[in-house]
Amino acid sequence: MKKRTFLKTSSTLLAGSLFAPWTACKQSSAPQEEAPVRTNWAGNLTYSTNQLHQPTSVEALQELVLKSEKVRALGSRHCFNRIADSRYSQISLDALPALMEADPAAGTVSTGAALRYGQLCPYLHKQGLAIHNLASLPHISVAGACATGTHGSGVHNGNLSTAVTGMELVRADGELVQLSAATHPTIFPGAVVHLGALGIVTRLQLKVQPAFQMRQMVYQFLPESQLEAHFDQIMSAGYSVSLFTDWQSDTVNQVWIKERLEETRPEAPASEFFGAKLATRNLHPIVELSAENCTEQMGVPGPWYERLPHFRMNFTPSSGKELQTEFFVPQERAVEALAAMRALHREVADLLLISEIRTVAADQLWLSPAYGRPSVAIHFTWKQDRQALDRILPKIESALAPFDMRPHWGKIFGVPAEVLASRYEKMADFRALMKEYDPNGKFKNEFLESVMA
Ligand SMILES: Cc1cc2nc3c(=O)[nH]c(=O)nc-3n(C[C@H](O)[C@H](O)[C@H](O)COP(=O)(O)OP(=O)(O)OC[C@H]3O[C@@H](n4cnc5c(N)ncnc54)[C@H](O)[C@@H]3O)c2cc1C
């Protein structure tokens, strides 16, 4: 028996279809009365339109898309670049019924696209289910995260998009289409990480597994020499391992180890880890900030969705007023790439709040930064000074170029389209898919023009 939860309304099942049909409800697709200034979450950019549509039914959404000349989907606004921007209009699905429908027998959940992981995960946990991994924060929308290849950490964990087994989207011609690996085996791996270019995703079907308990430990001051000598071993020391560093000393500031707790009673955490010392209190990755915003550490057991993210749902994640950049390199070259970053430690010192190093398992999703290679993601949280960042960014990007670095689609980067095309072997196939789903470029914006050669 499927277990279903509807936050605002209910719907009925349609046999033979990947997703149940949406219940028709009041159609209201008129642009909202908006405050004159609309920004992304970090406030580092203002969207170029005040036309924000919030349809309350899928039928209204279809009509809106059909009538629109140009439009972009907007998720929870957590990207740092103009990927979600439009000079014409944006559509948020926040007013659609927030459907969550678990199917434990099939090992899937069907979720409304605009739902935040922070809404979906407690529901899943109550059903005895879990997603394989989460980003550092639960505040982001499922559709927005999967559209950009958002990831957590763990050598065996693919990014969040790898959980997608089905999608429902409104195409440029207003048609509501359903895609899955079974029905569209050739193009499905191309459609999952889509950068908002194929249509407005209304629902996603995600792979789930039985719920599990976790604990996380933080170690401080990992000697760089240990990291260089034992990189793979350190990054495999838990289900998910993150390193935080400011590159300013010969130690890594913090190592966060997230362990799955299986049936047996866990041993007490070791007091040392490759020369790093077990922290004696909860810590924020930016050590000066309050750990109140962070998920429980110190080895305290808890449900998967309260340990996999670093930050708690009802608190500000990260620092708030910031910029972010992130680059993926092949894991086999991680030690070299980290050495190249360390060589820039003086140049980043004034602007950097903290860097994070994580692993992402290889996948086959065409535009995933981990496409075809086990990857290491090198992330930077910066003070919010775009001019200073623009001076440093080319140096970082050229230092990582020998490793065929791929940038995070939702963060700030300057890698030009022709270089991206050389680092994504499926880019031409993705452009062909865009042409098929959106022949007149209804969903194209300036960001997409700039990244697609
Ligand atoms: C504090 C902070 C921490 C972060 N931590 C991580 C992390 O741990 N790992 C990581 O990988 N990233 C991280 N990010 C980046 C973030 O997860 C991604 O940028 C993600 O894409 C944000 O999702 P969103 O819903 O806010 O998307 P938005 O910024 O709103 O949109 C992103 C893209 O998704 C598209 N989109 C959104 N909804 C739909 C839809 N319904 N249909 C079609 N397209 C849609 C938009 O058009 C746009 O192209 C972090 C960001 C912040 C601010």
Q: Is the pLDDT of residue 223 over 70?
A: yes
Q: Does residue 334 fall inside a structural domain?
A: yes
Ligand 1 center to 301 CA (angstroms): 29
Helix ranges, 68-168 (H): 117-126, 142-148
Task: Count the neighbouring beta carbons within 10 Å of the beta carbon of residue 30.
Answer: 11
Q: What is the pTM of this model?
A: 0.93
Quick check: CB of 200 below 6 Å from ligand 1? yes
| C-beta of 353 in contact with ligand 1 (< 6 A) | no
34, pLDDT greater than 90: no
Condensed to tens digits (0 to 9), the pLDDT of residues 357-372 reads 999 999 999 999 999 9
Q: Is the CB of 76 under 6 A from ligand 1?
A: yes
Is the beta carbon of 146 within 6 A of some atom in ligand 1?
Answer: no
**Distance, CA 215 to ligand 1 centroid (Å)?**
26
Task: Determine the Cα–Cα distance for residues 108 and 131; give it in Å rounded to an integer.
Answer: 9
Who's near 233: CB < 8 A, 6+ residues apart? none
pLDDT tens profile 56-66? 999 999 999 99
Q: Is the per-residue pLDDT at 4 higher than 90?
A: no
* CATH number of the domain that residue 380 is part of: 3.30.70.2520
Measured by CA distance, the residue closest to atom 10 of ligand 1 is 150
The residue among 176, 44, 32 whose CA lies nearest residue 92 is: 32
User: Does any ligand 1 atom lie closer than 6 A to the CB of residue 406?
Assistant: no
Ligand 1, atom nearest to 136 Cα: 8
3-state secondary structure 180-212: ECCCCCCCHHHHCCCCCCCCEEEEEEEECEECC
Supply φ then ψ for residue 265, to 5 degrees: -70, 125
Does the pLDDT at position 202 exceed 70? yes
β-strand partners of 3: 102
Give the atom of ligand 1 at the shortest distance from the alpha carbon of 447: 49
Measuring CA to CA, which residue among 109, 171, 173, 172 is closest to residue 142? 109
Q: What is the pLDDT of residues 285-325, one digit of tens each?
A: 999 999 999 999 999 999 999 999 999 987 778 777 899 99
Q: Does some domain include residue 17?
A: no
d(CA 293, CA 273): 25
Of 92, 87, 94, 84, residue with least CA distance to 40? 84
Return phi, psi of residue 96, to 5°. -75, 155
Residues spanned by the domain of 278: 213-414
Is the beta carbon of 196 within 6 A of some atom in ligand 1? yes
Which is the closest atom of ligand 1 to the Cα of 409? 19
Res 6: pLDDT:
35
Q: What is the pLDDT of residue 5?
A: 41
- Mean pLDDT, the chain, whole residue set: 92
CA atoms within 13 A on the CB side of 390: 4
Question: CB 33: neighbour CB atoms within 10 A?
Answer: 7
- Look-up: residue for tokens 């270019």? 197
**8 A C-beta contact, residue 407 and residue 326:** yes
Alpha carbons 257 and 299: distance in angstroms, whole number: 9
- The answer to the question of residue 297 being in a domain is yes
pLDDT of residue 411: 98
Instruction: Work out how many domains the chain is built from and give that number.
Output: 1
* 16 dihedral zone (left: phi>0; alpha: psi -120 to 50; beta): left
* pLDDT tens string 92-129: 999 999 899 999 999 999 999 999 999 999 999 999 99
Residue whose CA lies nearest to ligand 1 atom number 33: 144
| Domain annotation covers residue 206 | no
Q: What's the burial of 68, exposed, middle or buried (CB within 10 Å: 0-12/13-18/19+)? A: buried
Whether 83 is in a domain gets the answer no
Tens of pLDDT, residue by residue over 145-201, are: 999 999 999 999 999 999 999 999 999 999 999 999 999 999 999 999 999 999 999
Residue 349: CB atoms within 10 Å: 11
Cβ of 78 below 6 Å from ligand 1: yes
Does 445 sit in the ligand 1 pocket, CB within 6 Å?
no
Q: In angstroms, rounded to a whole number, what is the distance separating the alpha carbons of residues 440 and 38?
A: 27
Whether residue 164 is contained in a domain is answered as no
At residue 17, the pLDDT reads 63
Judge whether 340 lies within some domain: yes
Please determine, for residue 2, whether its predicted confidence score (pLDDT) is greater than 70: no
How does pLDDT run across 372-394, given as a tens digit for each residue? 999 999 999 999 999 999 999 99
Residue 149, class by beta-carbon neighbours within 10 Å (0-12 exposed, 13-18 middle, 19+ buried)? buried
- Angstrom CA distances, 333 to 21, 374, 393, stand at 47, 10, 20
3-state secondary structure of 32: coil
Q: Which two tokens stand for residue 150?
A: 């958002």
User: Do the domain assignments include residue 430?
Assistant: no
Q: Is 145 in the pocket of ligand 1 (CB under 6 A)?
A: yes
Q: Which residue in 395, 393, 391 sits closest to 325, CA to CA?
A: 393
The yes-or-no verdict on residue 418 having pLDDT over 60 is: yes
Which residue in 248, 388, 413, 257 sits closest to 328, CA to CA? 413
Q: Where are the alpha helices (DSSP H) in 25-116?
A: 58-67
CA nearest 150: which of 414, 451, 369? 369
User: How many angstroms does the Cα of residue 438 sit away from the middle of ligand 1?
Assistant: 21
